[in-house]
Homo-oligomer: A and B are copies of this chain.
Amino acid sequence: MKVLIVGSIALDSIETPAGKVAEVLGGAATYSSVAASFFAPVQLVGVVGEDFPKRHEKIFRPRKIDTLGLERLPGKTFRWAGKYFSDLNQRETLLTELNVFDRFSPVLPESYRGTNYIFLANIHPALQLKVLDQVKSPKLIVADTMNLWIATALEDLNKLIARIDILMLNDEEARMLTGEYSLAKAGKKLLGRGLLAAVIKRGEHGATVFHKQGVFFAPAYPLEDVKDPTGAGDSFAGGFVGYLARSGKKTFSEIKRAAIYGSVLASFTVQEFSLKRLLSIKPVDIEKRFREFKKLVSF
């Protein structure tokens, strides 16, 4: 089964205790598409400027990532710059230049509209809703969001939540959205809104899946060297949705496995800057690390 992924494509400049890179490939749709492509063909929707390097575009096609929905607009590509501190859990945004992304208004190519698995990466919920208006037969809709939209576009976000199956957000956002400090309570409240599942991402502490059949905890892999946390959450989401598209089932048991595959993909992403590690792994590496996750929590 194919996965439709809509979101940002960016040129990132990043500084972490492990080093510094300038204008490398980034963006939520980029990370999640590459991660998902290990499991299922991807249909990408995003926008780049005239300056988007051809070499970046070249990474998509050999990976079964359809770029028919990748729009190239006059102007510059979205740029983001950030600096991570020693604990790697906190970052400071140094620059956000929306550029062509400011005019992003996703229009799905005809060949995308019948796709059943949909991942709406973090963009304005009104745009996420606009995508949903264009799909014909969704089987599973997963959406990510952020604090900015909870604060400034709550009405649209609430409409979105009513139309999706699985919401992904981080711990602080879950607290902000539900008004509950306890993540167990926050997860329960989110489920109460009719979601099939709520996935609360907790960075280096893993992710918790709330489902009416129970709670599942996916740990983070204990890496000795984390070079760049950028894209970890998006890689998690891509691996998660990609696995479910390949599986074709959306039982709690498959959602659990999807969360582990998501964690596997995220664990590779943070080992190098940008998508360097993610682009170098093979399916066998994914399966090996999946088994290591199993060992990490089996007793």
**Interfacial residues, chain A to chain B (CB-CB below 8 A):** 17, 86-88, 181-185, 187-188, 202, 205-206, 208, 214-217, 219, 222-226, 253, 256-257, 259-260, 294-299
* Contact, CB under 8 Å: A87 / B222: no
* Contact, CB under 8 Å: B217 / A222: yes
For A256, give its contact among B208, B219, B299 (CB under 8 Å): B299
Contacts known (A217-B297, A296-B217); A222 close to B181, Cβ less than 8 A: no
* Contact, CB under 8 Å: A188 / B224: yes
* Contact, CB under 8 Å: A216 / B182: no
Residues of B within 8 A of A219 (CB): 206, 217, 219, 297
* Contact, CB under 8 Å: B297 / A216: yes
For A185, give its contact among B205, B206, B208, B224 (CB under 8 Å): B224
Per the bound structure, the CA–CA distance linking A225 and B225 in Å amounts to 35
* Contact, CB under 8 Å: B257 / A299: yes
For A299, give its contact among B184, B222, B224, B253 (CB under 8 Å): B253
* Contact, CB under 8 Å: A181 / B87: yes
Residues of B within 8 A of A298 (CB): 256, 297
How many copies make up the complex?
2
Per the bound structure, the CA–CA distance linking A294 and B86 in Å amounts to 34
Residues of B within 8 A of A253 (CB): 299
Residues of B within 8 A of A86 (CB): 181
Per the bound structure, the CA–CA distance linking A29 and B183 in Å amounts to 30
* Contact, CB under 8 Å: A299 / B294: yes
* Contact, CB under 8 Å: B184 / A216: no
Q: How far is the CB of A274 from chain B (nearest CB, A)?
A: 20
For A182, give its contact among B214, B217, B224, B259 (CB under 8 Å): B224
Per the bound structure, the CA–CA distance linking A216 and B88 in Å amounts to 22
* Contact, CB under 8 Å: A296 / B215: yes
For A222, give its contact among B205, B208, B259 (CB under 8 Å): B208
Per the bound structure, the CA–CA distance linking A252 and B86 in Å amounts to 32
Q: How far is the CB of A178 from chain B (nearest CB, A)?
A: 12
Per the bound structure, the CA–CA distance linking A259 and B181 in Å amounts to 26
* Contact, CB under 8 Å: B215 / A222: yes
* Contact, CB under 8 Å: B187 / A222: yes
Q: How far is the CB of A295 from chain B (nearest CB, A)?
A: 6
Per the bound structure, the CA–CA distance linking A189 and B184 in Å amounts to 34
